[in-house]
Amino acid sequence: MAALANGGAISYYHRMSNNIRDMGICLRVVDFSETSQVVTLFTRENGLQPAIAKGSKRPKKSGAGISGPLDLLTIGEMMFIPKPTGDLAILTSWDVQNYRPALRHDLPGLNRALLCAEITLNILQPHDPHPELFDDLDATLDMLAGPQCRRAFLAYCLAALEHAGFSPAFSRCHVCGKPLLPDQPAQFFPHASTATCGQCDRPGERVRLPGNILLALSRLPRPSEMKNMEARAGNAQALNTAQVLLLDQIELATDRKLKTRSLVEWS
Ligand SMILES: [Zn+2]
């Protein structure tokens, strides 16, 4: 009897020691069976974690565990047992902190949020922590249902590019080194992630656009900073041009088309 109790204590300790506590944003949900889901969570300290949420669709029992079916874009406190790369982690607890109700009633915001989720999944490798980008995504999802929607989305695209190691250089001419001028034409070279002023040139495919758009992008605050600043709507046409530029850049950097991109092209 004593041996059994001891063995139980060891396995309990073992189970607890393997459990990792983190915050997570739900980026992908697939029903796995009548009662379970396979999810991909962007965790703050442990990066992307593909995981199985066993029994998440069963009626909630009281106490610890999974608080209910996981929904896209929600953020929660979680515990999980990690597995070697390629295997699904086991989600042992999920407690929703923000269901983002405003976003669920705002179609342009919701569409951009879905695209943010896809961008994050495409641009990061599993198990690679990016806590700053996690904070940026959380801030962006909060802003997408408000007046900052379009600028916040662009700021998140820039943050994602930066974290993937493809930070574009927008503020200065790559050839002469001078700052771009807002009232002059400029060129952006997607494959080199650099810009030139109207007077300089370099070989390669280029996008011609007004200097003020590249300058505005270079001055855009990070989403986690923007969240605490006064809201600014921005010029619709300039925002459209910048959005096309950044989404093209993300597709180029990841060598993948964004499936949800069409959701935002006309909203
Ligand atoms: Zn120049």
CATH code for position 66: 2.40.50.140
Ligand 1 centroid to 242 CA: how many Å? 21
Ligand 1 centroid to 160 CA: how many Å? 27
How far apart CA 99 and CA 191 sit, in angstroms, is 38
The answer to whether 57 and 36 have CB atoms below 8 angstroms apart is yes
Q: How confident is the model at residue 3 (pLDDT cuts 50, 70, 90)?
A: very low
* 156's tokens: 């998140």
Q: How many domains does the chain have?
A: 2
Indicate whether 143 and 232 sit together in one domain.
Answer: yes
pTM check: above 0.85:
yes
Give the pLDDT confidence score for residue 67 in this predicted structure.
84
pLDDT digits (tens, 9 = 90+) for 42-63: 999 999 999 999 988 887 766 6
Give the pLDDT confidence score for residue 64 in this predicted structure.
67
For residue 231, what are the domain limits?
A: 108-263
- Of 65, 99, 133, at which residue does a domain stop? 99
- Of 79, 99, 119, at which residue does a domain stop? 99
pLDDT at 31 > cutoff 80 = yes
Mean pLDDT over the full length of the chain: 90
The mean pLDDT value for 60-77 works out to 85
Q: How many CB atoms lie within 10 A of CB 97?
A: 12
Ligand 1 centroid to 186 CA: how many Å? 9
Ligand 1 centroid to 215 CA: how many Å? 14
Indicate whether 164 and 40 sit together in one domain.
Answer: no
Q: By percentage, how much of the chain surpasses pLDDT 70?
A: 91
- Of 80, 99, 118, at which residue does a domain stop? 99
pLDDT digits (tens, 9 = 90+) for 112-145: 999 999 999 999 999 999 999 999 999 999 999 9
Indicate whether 21 and 117 sit together in one domain.
Answer: no
DSSP 118-135: HHHHHHS-BT---HHHHH
Ligand 1 centroid to 179 CA: how many Å? 8
Give the pLDDT confidence score for residue 155 in this predicted structure.
97
